[in-house]
Amino acid sequence: MAKFLNTSATNYFLEELIKGAKDRLVLISPFLKLNDRMKELLADKNRLKIDVRVVYGKSELQPEEISWLTDLPYIRTSFCKNLHAKCYMNEETCIITSLNLYEFSQVNNNEMGVLISRSEDADVYREAYEEAQRIIRISEEVRISMERVAQEPDNKSEQEEFVEKLTTSKVAQKLGMKTNELVDRLVSLGLLEVRDGKNYLTAKGKEAGGEFRMSPKFGPYFLWPESLKL
């Protein structure tokens, strides 16, 4: 039968749920912000080629985190408007809880949750799974990276800028590099600088045509001229 979870139990069983995923993993949380432990767990699932679906309502990822996530091909992300649900499930277990994804491993918070087993609570698990699939269907699947700049430019000048300038990951693809490698290269050339673990555009980077942008959906990213020379 379903099991009540307090804060520490929610954290424990959520980690076990993620580690125990053999076929699929669904993580539904309003805020997409990852701590080091969650990154470690997701990277392991990617290495094992587990199908991971992350549905979020707002991204709070930093540019370096976006670059990191770009290199995980088995993790698919979807944006869902007005998302408030927090549900985490693999093929055998489901947790419905007050715990946001970014709060995982923070035992100083006061959280509650319910652990549902597919084998013991088949009907409840099935209903939760069907609702999770519905949320996935109505959400917009995106590659949470710095690839998508805009969907519908408001005017001609924005359309021209969209065509002429590329996101960091697109420049990396063009040069046959990984995004993280290009970011390191841009830092070494003085086009970007790292402060407090975050990347910032320098005066030299601006002179080279670099631009900082903030998307309410995808978070911060940089644009570079298509003809950027390294």
User: Confidence band (pLDDT; 50, 70, 90) for 147?
Assistant: very low
Distance CA 102, CA 38 (A): 8
Whether 222 contacts 63, CB under 8 Å: yes
Give the domain 3-142 fold: Endonuclease; Chain A (3.30.870)
Tell me, what's the pLDDT at 156? 42
Find, among 224, 222, 6, 229, the residue nearest to 113 by Cα.
6
Of 64 and 46, the structure prediction assigns the larger pLDDT to 46
Of 172 and 119, the structure prediction assigns the larger pLDDT to 119
Tell me, what's the pLDDT at 141? 65
pLDDT of residue 157 exceeding 60, the answer is no
Q: For 81-101, how does the pLDDT look when each residue is reduced to its tens digit (9 = 90+)?
A: 889 999 999 999 999 999 998
Tell me, what's the pLDDT at 187? 93
pLDDT of residue 19 exceeding 60, the answer is yes
pLDDT of residue 151 exceeding 70, the answer is no
Amino acid identity of residue 201, one-letter, is: L
Distance CA 221, CA 76 (A): 19
Distance CA 112, CA 3 (A): 11
172-189 burial, b at 16+ Cβ within 10 Å, e below that, comes to bbeeebebbebbeebbee
Whether 160 contacts 213, CB under 8 Å: no
Of 219 and 186, the structure prediction assigns the larger pLDDT to 186
User: Confidence band (pLDDT; 50, 70, 90) for 142?
Assistant: low
Residue range(s) occupied by CATH 3.30.870.10 in the chain: 3-142
Distance CA 206, CA 161 (A): 15
pLDDT of residue 191 exceeding 50, the answer is yes
Q: For 203-217, how does the pLDDT look when each residue is reduced to its tens digit (9 = 90+)?
A: 998 888 888 887 655
